[in-house]
Chain A
């Protein structure tokens, strides 16, 4: 099986996984909007939580995976790690757009402001901008080795930033609430809300996997074409 055939197989599987995740997301919408009770003090805006937190999780997972794969590339210099890292970075950036728009839409009715420059929000925005820079850098460089090495260094920085984002709510005074699930104690939510939230976490994780499979397959197909073009010229 050629590299192109393997990429096409990954793309087909990724499309199936992505389709399942999108159906799952529709299910989350129905469950969250129609079958999960409205929280008394925050009102309907609290339901933004069921998309904001899981999408934020998937975005930060994507950035962490990009960081780990970038580290692997710097150590092992294998092409596939660079392509996988880039795939994860692009998917993470798209998910971070959702995270950074749903957050203010929740903040305005609950905190009384769209945005505040506290540690959690600022570090999240900086990480997003870092990955926008990562994607711009990759598009600006044509030499594979240079592009892979430079972007891997940027990707590794995510490994420092993502854990920092998680602990900002403990280390600094911030409007952002503490985690309700990813914390040492038991989750602090009624079970009906917890089931909706955990289902959404699962769907967003599957969505991330499907999107990365598709994006990685695309990266390999582009890489194969570039190699063929370079071979044809020389």
Chain B
């Protein structure tokens, strides 16, 4: 079956989602850890 050739947009969206969520989650975890260890 023929599909539109737009897989690159899908890959970009999944990478952006993973990067933003992981970076925010890890940053938040480290900010809490910094305050916890004080």
A and B: real partners?
A: yes
Give residues in A with beta carbon < 8 Å to B.
8, 11, 14-15, 18, 22, 25, 29, 33, 38, 40-45, 47-48, 51-52, 55, 94-95, 97-98, 101-102, 105-106, 108-109, 207, 211, 214-215, 217-218, 221-222, 225
Contact between B10 and A48, CB atoms less than 8 A apart: yes
How far apart sit A221 and B31, CA to CA, in the bound complex (Å)? 10
Distance in angstroms from B32 CB to nearest chain A CB is: 5
Contact between A225 and B35, CB atoms less than 8 A apart: yes
Q: A29-B14, A48-B10 known; A11 and B4 CB under 8 Å?
A: no
Question: Looking at chain B's contact residues, is the secondary structure mostly helix, strand, loop, or mixed?
Answer: helix
Contact between A94 and B20, CB atoms less than 8 A apart: yes
Chain A residues with CB under 8 Å of B32's CB are 11, 14-15, 214, 217-218, 221
Contact between A98 and B16, CB atoms less than 8 A apart: yes
How far apart sit A33 and B13, CA to CA, in the bound complex (Å)? 12
- CB within 8 Å: A-B pair count: 93
A48 to chain B: closest residue by CB: B13
How far apart sit A51 and B36, CA to CA, in the bound complex (Å)? 33
Contact between B28 and A44, CB atoms less than 8 A apart: no
How far apart sit A8 and B24, CA to CA, in the bound complex (Å)? 19
Interface range for B: 20 to 34
Contact between A98 and B20, CB atoms less than 8 A apart: yes
How far apart sit A152 and B1, CA to CA, in the bound complex (Å)? 53
Contact between A22 and B25, CB atoms less than 8 A apart: yes
Chain B 1-24 per-residue mask, 1 if CB under 8 angstroms from chain A, else 0: 101111101101110111011101
Chain B residues with CB under 8 Å of A215's CB are 28
How far apart sit A211 and B3, CA to CA, in the bound complex (Å)? 37
Contact between B16 and A40, CB atoms less than 8 A apart: no
Chain B residues with CB under 8 Å of A214's CB are 28-29, 32
Distance in angstroms from A232 CB to nearest chain B CB is: 14
How far apart sit A207 and B9, CA to CA, in the bound complex (Å)? 24
Contact between A47 and B29, CB atoms less than 8 A apart: no
Contact between A42 and B4, CB atoms less than 8 A apart: yes
Chain A residues with CB under 8 Å of B31's CB are 218
How far apart sit A43 and B27, CA to CA, in the bound complex (Å)? 35
Distance in angstroms from A37 CB to nearest chain B CB is: 10
Contact between A45 and B4, CB atoms less than 8 A apart: yes
